[in-house]
């Protein structure tokens, strides 16, 4: 199984709280993969640039990417994005642009999106998601 970690889950892992998130990671099977979207990676770098200790933040991100692979765009992401962006536009239902890209990245891989931001993602009916904070 491929598990795509949303930005909030990665931050929880980096801070080791809530501890249940790290516990869930430790329960994964050997063939399970932890990944993050390039969008999540960019959001983490943005946070690092805004932090008081840039070098320490960047080093923590580098260490994390040794375990959680960063995945980059493919054509399928764009197809999912086109579909869902227009669906939400027609419905007048806003969703954060980065969140939509992350969801479409997960859809393109048939991955389970791991997030605590359930409200933002539950409207994407094709998306598999889980909240590992519960």
Question: CA 56 to CA 23: how far, in whole Å?
Answer: 24
Buried b (16+ CB within 10 A) or exposed e, 79-102: ebbeebeeeeeeeeeebeebbbbb
DSSP 81: H
Q: Are 131 and 97 in contact (CB under 8 A)?
A: no
In 3-state terms the chain splits into helix, strand, coil percentages (rounded to 5) of 55, 15, 30
Residue list, annotated binding site: 6, 99
Phi then psi for residue 70, to 5 deg, are -90, 125
Binding-site residues for Mg(2+) sit at: 6, 99
Query: Which uninterrupted H or E stretch holds 62?
Result: helix 54-65
């Amino acid at each position: 199984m491929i598990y795509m970690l949303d930005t909030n889950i990665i931050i929880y892992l980096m801070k080791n709280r809530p501890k249940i998130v790290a516990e869930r990671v430790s329960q994964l099977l050997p063939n399970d993969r932890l990944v993050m979207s390039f969008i999540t990676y960019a959001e983490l770098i943005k946070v690092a640039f805004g932090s008081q200790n840039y070098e320490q933040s960047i080093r923590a991100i580098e260490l994390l990417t040794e375990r959680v692979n960063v995945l980059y765009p493919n054509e399928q992401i764009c197809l999912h994005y086109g579909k869902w962006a227009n669906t939400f536009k027609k419905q007048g239902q806003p969703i954060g642009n980065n969140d939509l890209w992350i969801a479409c990245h997960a859809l393109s891989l048939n991955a389970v999106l791991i997030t605590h931001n359930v409200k933002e993602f539950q409207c994407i009916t094709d998306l598999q998601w889980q909240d590992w904070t519960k």
